[in-house]
Structure 1
Amino acid sequence: MTQISLDALTEQPAFDGQPATLVTLSNTQGMSIVLMDIGATWLSCQVPVQDTVREVLLGVASMTDFNQQSSFLGATVGRYANRIANGQYQHNGHTYQLTANQGPHTLHGGVQGWSHCRWTIVECSEQQVTFSIHSADGDQGFPGNVDAQVIYTLTDDNQVTIAYSATTDATTPVNMTNHAYFNLMGANEDHQILNDTLSIQAHDYLPTDNSGIPLDQGLTPVEGTAFDFRQPHTLGSRLLDDPQLKMVNGYDHSYFLGNTSIDHCIASLTAADESLTLQVFTDKPAIQLYTGNFLEGTPSRTGEVYHNYQGIALETQYLPDSPNRPDWPHHTCWLEPDERYESTTIYQFNAR
């Protein structure tokens, strides 16, 4: 594996004029991950595979490139991951207008969502780091003061555990996730992910319009469609076999998982050469599958650019536009002042 320096991320000032802080976690198996306080971002993931160490996470090598990219590479996104239609919602008789950053819609928290903010490093050890953020009342149009944390843990059996929590002083929607893009064949190479094999244990997916806003028909069975990953198959084998897929150049759809348990694997991705498998565990009721359909031109860690289908995102979350869809069949997305938002996702890497 070609070693890529991330020094430029700390040598160049971030949006606030101060350098970023990077944290490296490592385990006894030779695996390591790098995190950054800007966006509580997962920058790098190096996994031992076949007597070498393979970088399997898309990322950037400089703060200039980080600011230029709009793909949310590895960032923690919130307050609300995914889309909120027309950048607004109604609750208890009041209409809340949010900042729009995808046409009229709000994507991943708005123009200056949590992916674009500096998080505070609260605690740090060899295998765990805790980031926190305070989001003031009115941030991007959302009500309530919110205090959130994300804890990254790297275990000795090559698990990356991401634990999210948040509290608020006023009712507000919260939906946190990480926007990592994986390439199990090597993120610093020119491999596409279309020959990787994926399975998702979901019976229903959510059709959308070309902006990713759910259609009125709601959840739709995957059976007999190109969206059926209940049995493993390669990502490219049905990539454009449906009008929904042609419309957005591939997969960018949410799958409903139902009442999930953190002990149950809900998705599995295997590298084209079968040398490495990634398993996903979560207690969230949905997962967004995105095959990097519009990565073209995104600055890469090697100083070049990424191309379409060079990374896959598996984002655990609530279904999109939940504040406007009380009919979604999962636990409410509303966080109340007397409650605590908590969610955990595990990415398990298994080399062969």
Structure 2
Amino acid sequence: MDMPAAPAPSPAPARREIFGHLPDGEAVERVRLRGADGFEAAIITYGAAVQALLVPDRAGHPADVVLGHDELAPYVETRRFFGATIGRYANRIAGGGFTLDGARYTLAANNGPNALHGGIEGFDRKNWQVVAADAGAVTLSCLSPDGEEGFPGTVTARLTYALTGPRELTLSFEATTDRATVVNLTHHGFFNLAGVEAGGDVLDHVLTLPAAHYLPVDATAIPLAGPAPVAGTPFDFRSPTPIGARIRDDHEQVRLGRGYDHNWCLGEGRAAAPVLAARVEHPGSGRVMELLTDQPGLQFYSGNFLDGTAVGKFGRLHRQSDAFCLEPQFWPDTPNRPDFPSCRLEPGEVWRHVSVYRFSAV
């Protein structure tokens, strides 16, 4: 007689602790979500950021695979986006402004002539509030008043981090507004699947990115005419390819970005459900990360501007290409590009984004 399969173990209760205090004395919490076989995500309320992510290798040994800091002070002192939630608008808006319903909105030009990642004090600089924390999930929220960083509308954002598999972390974003506005929220994790403590660059990580088109950019990283085929360029990762295989090719777009810092086009709008957008494998450890998302774009950044000035966990100095980022989002500069997928949000609507980070080992 066949015995019934043993039920999967339930996630351990979320562990809450004080991570530090802001200069005004406000507490910043850390919430630990623990899955199976040593898989663990540590979330801090400052920036709603993933402070640590422990993932087992092929031998079952967990290692922290995301850049970050052991203490709060470096997050507050220098804005590096390590593991942070980005908003109101991820990526760049050309010329530091946009027009909506005939009104012109001026934003801070904090990246050359452009607005980047929500301006000077984006969502990554907010201390989010814990709404709920239970076994395997934590929900955080923040409020952005009308006019903050130049954006219209009072926006309320919520983000749930949930363990949805033994080694799977799902991020579910929601946002509402009281005035027509633009919203583009994403997660800005800096990954090194070898493990941060082991160090080294990510050029040997093997990337598969199925998208057939990407957005070429100008010298300030603003998209040019529109999507271009990846075929025949260093941007073709439709077959598994090491990140470093063509990163020093003599190609104008690689020169402009000092590597990869471009949007790959996944669709013309938000998908009905998350689909596979990228797969990364580290041959040495066997760790594999699959990213599934419902967003129409994916920004792949190869850590080109890490310059050795950031001291991270384990006392490591982070240098060029010591991590990669895969940021699911709407396309850059969408508020100024009616030919791009729209990120407009109206009162009474709910803006949504779901991305799944699924880990395994081979």
| Band of TM-score, shorter chain | over 0.9
Q: CA offsets per residue over residues 37-95 of structure 1, 9 Å max, x none?
A: 11101111001221311111111112221123332000000010000111100111110
* Residue among 306, 327, 332 paired with 2:318: 306
Normalising by structure 2, report the TM-score: 0.91
Shift of 1:261: 5.3
Q: What is the match of residue 350 of structure 1?
A: 360
Per the alignment, residue 49 of structure 2 pairs with 41
Shift of 1:29: 2.9
Provide structure 1 residue ranges, at least 5 long, that are not aligned to the other structure.
1-8
- Shift in Å at residue 28 of structure 1? 3.1
Superimposed CA distance per residue, residues 262-283 of structure 1 (whole angstroms, 9 cap, x where no aligned partner): 3531210000326111001000
C-alpha distance in 2, partners of 1:15/1:165? 29
Moved more, 259-268 or 316-325: 259-268
Q: Residue 293 in 1 paired to residue 304 in 2?
A: yes
Paired residue for 1:6? none
Q: 1:263 to 1:340 in 2, by over 3 A?
A: closer
1:128 maps to 137
Q: Aligned to 1:30, which of 32, 38, 57?
A: 38
Match of 2:228 in 1: 220
- Give the TM-score, by structure 1 length: 0.93
Secondary structure of the residue aligned to 1:272 is coil
CA RMSD of aligned residues (A): 1.5
Q: Percent identity?
A: 37
Per-residue deviation, 1:21: 0.5
Alignment of 1:50-61 (within 5 A): 50-61=59-70
Q: Kindly state the Cα deviation for residue 325 of structure 1 after the two structures are TM-superposed.
A: 0.4
Distance in 2 of aligned mates of 1:33 and 1:59 = 13
> How many residues were matched structurally?
341
* Selected match of 2:345 from 335, 342, 347: 335
Given the alignment of the two structures, is residue 21 of structure 1 paired with residue 29 of structure 2, yes or no?
yes
Per-residue CA deviation, residues 93-117 of structure 1 (Å, 9 max, x unaligned), is: 1100012211221111010010000
Residue 169 (1) aligns with residue 178 (2)? yes
Give the match for residue 283 of structure 2: 272
- For 1:323, the equivalent position in structure 2 comes to 335
Over alpha carbons, which structure has the higher Rg? 2
Which one of the candidate residues 86, 91, 100 is aligned to 1:77?
86
Determine whether 1:233 maps to 2:244: no
Task: Give the equivalent residue in structure 2 for 1:249.
Answer: 258
Distance 1:150 1:141 in 2: 23
Q: Give structure 1 regions of 4+ aligned residues with deviation exceeding 6 angstroms.
A: none
Deviations 1:201-240 (A, max 9, x none): 111101112321112x211110110000111100001002
**Aligned residues of 1:276 and 1:350 also touching (Cα < 8 A):** yes
* Greater Cα shift, 153-162 or 115-124: 153-162
Structure 2 residue runs without a partner (length 5+): 1-16
- d(CA) in 1 for partners of 2:202, 2:286: 14
Q: 1:269 to 1:171 in 2, by over 3 A?
A: same
Greater Cα shift, 23-32 or 248-257: 23-32
Q: 1:196 aligns with which of 172, 181, 205?
A: 205
**What are the Cα deviations for residues 105-151 of structure 1, in whole angstroms up to 9, with x where unaligned?**
11110100100001110000131000001110001000001111000
* Kept in 1: contact 2:56–2:287 (CA 8 A): no
How far apart, in 2, do the equivalents of 1:274 and 1:301 lie?
Answer: 19
How far apart, in 2, do the equivalents of 1:77 and 1:181 lie?
13
